[in-house]
Amino acid sequence: SIVLMNGEFIPREEAKVDIEDRGYQFGDGIYEVIRVYNGKMFTATQHLERLQTSGEKININITYTVQNLTVLLEELIHRNSLHTGIIYMQFTRGESPRNHAYPIETVPPTFVAYTKELERPVTSLENGVSSITVEDIRWSRCDIKSLNLLGNVMAKQKAVEADCYESIQYRELTVTEGSSSNIWIVKDEVVQTHEANSFILNGITRRKIVDVCQRREITIKEKAFSIEELIDADEVFLSSTTAEVMPIVAINNVPVGSGEVGIITRKLQNYFKEEIF
């Protein structure tokens, strides 16, 4: 396959990173995952703008404009004949002798992007998935889409060990988000998700769902909810670029509501699909 490295298209085997790259040593970098349906990127501008914002928040200077990046990523899709899948891309703070402090500003970021074929998770979308709750042990800048994912990795591993699809994280008694997704509840026909602050990543899928709710006159509350409200919800679902609107039908081995995929979740899935196709 062909990857994009520092602006050049090269075979994957030729793409090499230095042992003193700051992404490798410190997780000092940012990333995005963009969905590709029928050879076209979905919500690319929003992803690339979030990438710029993540960069600004940690002073990594992305020298490409959203427009530049769009052209390069379209070319990458074309060169790999990608139909349904994702683009993964990351910028690190570059190569520099190991030192916690940032290197001088002339060190260029290391930029890598590649494609991967990935079908829509149709079976899970149809039947729903199970989940567990875990304590959110991450830092307090989860709004940055940082390469530093150790807390998320550990949370996901707990889900896998419990034969579940996702971990629902909580701080004190408040639900924050999944290990790689945003979490939603539906109670008495009101849809609710954590407000976009520094305790969660403001998902692009999340924003799309908020927008769809507003357009379709479904009541939406962007406000944190408790573990108790989660357990007591009529419906629960998660959202992400790869998982779309994914029903959660069990939490800690207890069925959510009736244990079936909820009516509003199903509606939102269909509305979301209309945005894609």
The residue with its CB nearest to ligand PDD is 203
User: Taking CB under 6 A as the rule, does residue 269 contact ligand PDD?
Assistant: no
Given candidates 152, 192, 265, 269, which one binds ligand PDD under the rule CB under 6 A? 152
Binding residues with ligand PDD: total (CB under 6 A): 15
**Does residue 57 have an active-site annotation?**
no
Cβ 98 to ligand PDD, closest distance in Å? 26
Q: 């909580």: which residue's tokens? A: 170
User: Which run of H or E residues covers position 126?
Assistant: helix 122-127
User: Taking CB under 6 A as the rule, does residue 177 contact ligand PDD?
Assistant: yes
CA distance 30 to 37: 24
User: Taking CB under 6 A as the rule, does residue 124 contact ligand PDD?
Assistant: no
Query: Of 16, 40, 116, 145, which one is the catalytic site residue?
Result: 145
User: Taking CB under 6 A as the rule, does residue 210 contact ligand PDD?
Assistant: no
Q: Which is nearer to ligand PDD, 95 or 220 (CB)?
A: 220
Could you tell me the sign of the dihedral formed by the alpha carbons of 39, 152, 268, 125, in that order? Answer: positive
Residues sharing a CB contact under 8 Å with residue 148, sequence separation 6 or more, in sequence order: 26, 27, 28, 139
Q: Which stretch binds ligand PDD (CB under 6 A): 90-98, 125-133, 180-188, 191-199?
A: 180-188
Q: Which stretch binds ligand PDD (CB under 6 A): 75-83, 120-128, 160-168, 175-183?
A: 175-183
Footprint on residues 24-43 left by ligand PDD (CB under 6 A): 33
Residues carrying an active site annotation? 145
Interaction site with ligand PDD (CB under 6 A):
33, 152, 177, 180-182, 201, 203-206, 239-242
